[in-house]
Chains A and B, each alone.
Chain A
Amino acid sequence: MSRAPQIRFLADGKRLHLQDGPIDLIVEACAGEASLRAAYDAAARRFVGLLDELCDELKMLRQAADPMHCLLQGTVARRMHAAVAPFAADHFITPMAAVAGSVAEEILGAMVQEARLERAYVNNGGDIALHLAEGERFTVGLIDRPDRQGLMRTTVIDADDPSQGIATSGRHGRSFSLGIADAVTVLARTASQADAAATIIANAVDLPEHPAVLRCSAHDLQPDSDLGARLVTRGVGRLSRDEVATALDAGATSARALLAAGLIDGAALRLCSEAVLVALRPVKLRESREVHQDRIESAAHV
């Protein structure tokens, strides 16, 4: 194995880039010079070997999670299990659904433990763990599609906010999706919880048996996929407005249930240029022409 994790600063000299196999992290912290140094050192130290730890238990991580028992050993693996366990009774879900968020959380944890930081984030391919000291805040922007400037939402997360994790899931991502959502972004207490919940909600945005949705067995695409023979979405043809609304409604219902259960703090669901927000507090909300204002508002005040 000729592998060495990439640990280096991006050329701006401020953001740290950590990459190993499928893990790809961007890390940034704000603090005094000494604290910053200590935090980045801690991040790098924790990163080395992290993938190997996960791969030691990869076989079990790829199996459906038991809602009650966890036989996994590693810290990150156990966090992955804990994040998916609340869904495991009702859904097929493996700990892998929370791998990105759990890794982000682990690295952020190592940094925060080592140094006093004003604010910090670890972004693992869109699954983001946040740290905010008293009085600090983050503005988070969500662009649904880069071609559409009209649709940008920003929301502010501050130190008092319970949401310290953000994750996005959907059919365009690196992982396969059972649903048809273009993107579901979730705010939750932790990045791992957000990651697992985004997967569940994105899977719920669906039109079962719809002929315009092309599906394929996951293991036909990736022989060792944790989803096995389950049908994953490969393409979505033209859908009518009603069909898009139906699929989004199914996702929003799932999101509201998770909100009521205290598993998420908010979600933004996107499909075919339509959007639904659930309990997000948009600071700047600009909705596209296609989105019905009443629907957003009704969804936003759940």
Chain B
Amino acid sequence: MDCQAINREELAEKYVHHRLDAAQVDEFETHLLECPMCARELELLQAMQTDLAERAHEIRGWTASKPHFFRWQVAVLAGIVVVVATASLAVRWQKMQSASVTAPPPPHANLPIGETMAKEHEANPAGEPVKPEGPQTLSPNREKQVAQANSPTQIQNLTINPHDHAELKRENPSTAGQGGPPVKPAGANGVNSTAQNASSSAVKVDGGEQADQSVNAVRDQQQVSAVIAQPAAGTAKTQVQLTAEQGVELYRVGAVEAPPFTFAGFAAHAKPPKGGRSSTYSGKAGAADSGRVLFHDGMNAYIDARYHDASGYLRSALKYEPSAADVNFYLGVCRILDGHPAESIPALKIAIAAGNSPYLQSAHYYLGKAYVQEMNLEGAEMEFREATGLPGQLSTDAKAMLARVVALREQIEKNKQ
């Protein structure tokens, strides 16, 4: 064995990864004792390994920055944007100044915003769009008031003039429970956020004439348009009516928390068997080793709440271990948490098919959640029922979810009638 062959065949790397057979190991080690240069290279490799392994979690979490040549371009672009934005603001401010000097103030300019809009409503009860009459149609003061009215309470006070109200609803969709096009609460995105958020941003209701009432009161009275999947019919979907309250409940039932994961008893990479003799170790990392490494990386990303990245790693791990319960289970969970519940279903079904694994109950439970988010309440009921009957920590939760899904289904049936 000579230094050139060692470099050419990367034998030092293979040696530290236990990928040489016993004879090669003996030969390599004997060479190390004869050749200080190769010994130094091995030391260097070990020092690099130690430092990289200590910071592995950190390094894996990094996102590679753009190539260097982009950086100055980005800086220049940012500078241009800032200059243009500043110039346009200055021009706008000058225009507003000149308008307030040349034109008389609007009739209600000095009133509080609620009163102002009430007066406008009196003047224009039908809510017809007011044609601009010169620069004073929307005075700077009024514009500022409208722009500042972003909190729900302010907006509730501003709901006198339907025209303005519509504008404000566009400004702040989170309080726009009384207008806008109906949107199906498909639940794919935003289900993981709080129920309040989900109820306000993802569910929009039809109708909405009683604009001056509180948002919650109006929600209770109005109907939510929802698409409910019919599992028996495969992909066929039926339009059913839900009350806003039912819509909110649906989102609450579908909300998912990431199940915990610990690395207990987990080997980061392939190691030789006990006894340390390389002769019994084939040297090459097998499929299971590669799968485990990818699973490990996926779970690192999962712990960091990078569910999209985790899904990528877990999908790669599936190439090596297509029926592994743990890989499929966490892939399913990641797809739900990443806002793709439909994609979680096949993975969770494989995790269930794996049989009596530690993930069996959890897989049923999260499959139920995925079905809820997919509006397949019948499927959800079945899965929660299965989870209830299995041993595990989720029995109580599954029972509660089952009761809520059953209640929801009953209410939906009533709605249909």
Answer yes or no: do A and B interact: no
Residues of B with Cβ closer than 8 Å to A?
none
